Amino acid sequence: MTKTPKTAAKKTGRILLGIGGWTFEPWRGVFYPDKLPQAKELNYAASKLTSIEVNGTYYGSQKPETFRKWASEVPDGFVFSLKASRFTTNRKVLAEAGDSIKRFYDQGITELRDRLGPVLWQFAPTKKFDEADFGKFLELLPRERDGLTLRHVVEVRHDSFKTPAFVALLRQFGIPVVFSEHTTYPAIADVVGDFVYARLQKGNDDIKTCYPPKALDAWAARLQLWAEGGEPDDLPKVDTTAPKKQPRDVFAYVIHEGKIRAPAGAMELIERVK
């Protein structure tokens, strides 16, 4: 009897979807059930989402026991991304950020262990691209800590970064740039490194699902294409170089100004990429 050959499973990276933070009063009774204790909100959010981008680490430091507590309240496979300190990125000379970077890691973020995802280095809209200085900054970012491989991603908000020289610099270090879906920030969809990071910031709180169905379908298709190693052809790039085709993890966060419907948008996308 001739056996039918099995079709090889399609290799793909993980797609992790979520929101920015989990403490937001207007979500109570909308995303969170009525009367859910605030202390249980992280656990509840992690049961509905697969990742959360932590904003609090941008404004101040935490304690090691805080990171351990967060890790204990989420299921296996759940991942936090952390915004790095504003005191590191909001400086004139980035090459002088070494001590600040060390302080950020010294607060104990590796206590998250396998729940630790990328660290997001977010720059102000007024920060312009300086190739030499930005390159020195990328050199300072640690690649390993306490036995964990560290992932970094940068978010730039000035149009001067829309140049092939910036993308080439990122490729040199294997550090991706955030794809920002935003009305004013530059959109740079060039794939760099072994993961993709997107911040979806055009949600509408007047729509129950945050985005209309067609927009959700389009984003789900893009996320899946990234995870399979491809590049969406409907997003803007600044460089013509094609990246190596390989499965990539994808981190995507539904974040917009009102953000009431952000959890609904993230959950809709999770259903679409299953």
Residues forming a β-bridge with 120: 83, 153
Q: Report the pLDDT averaged over residues 58-74.
A: 97
Q: What residue ranges do the domains of the chain occupy?
A: 15-272
Q: Does domain 15-272 have CATH number 3.20.20.410?
A: yes
Strands 152-155, 249-254: parallel, antiparallel or unpaired by DSSP? unpaired
Give the pLDDT score at 135: 98
Per-residue pLDDT band at 7 (split at 50, 70, 90)? very low
Give the pLDDT score at 241: 86
Q: Are 91 and 137 in contact (CB under 8 A)?
A: no
pLDDT 10s digits, 122-139: 999 999 999 999 999 999
Average predicted confidence (pLDDT) for the chain:
95
> How far apart, in Å, do the first and last CA atoms of the chain sit?
35
Strands 195-200, 179-181: parallel, antiparallel or unpaired by DSSP? parallel
Q: Report the pLDDT averaged over residues 167-180.
A: 98
- The pTM for the full model equals 0.95
Name, in order, each residue with C-beta under 8 angstroms of 134's C-beta and a sequence gap of 6 or more. Answer: 94, 166, 169
pLDDT 10s digits, 40-55: 999 999 999 999 999 9
Q: CA-to-CA distance for 176 and 147, rounded, in angstroms?
A: 22
Give the pLDDT score at 10: 63
Give the pLDDT score at 3: 42
- Measured N-to-C along each axis, helices 164-173 and 131-140 cross at an angle, to the nearest 10 degrees, of 20
pLDDT > 90? residue 148 = yes
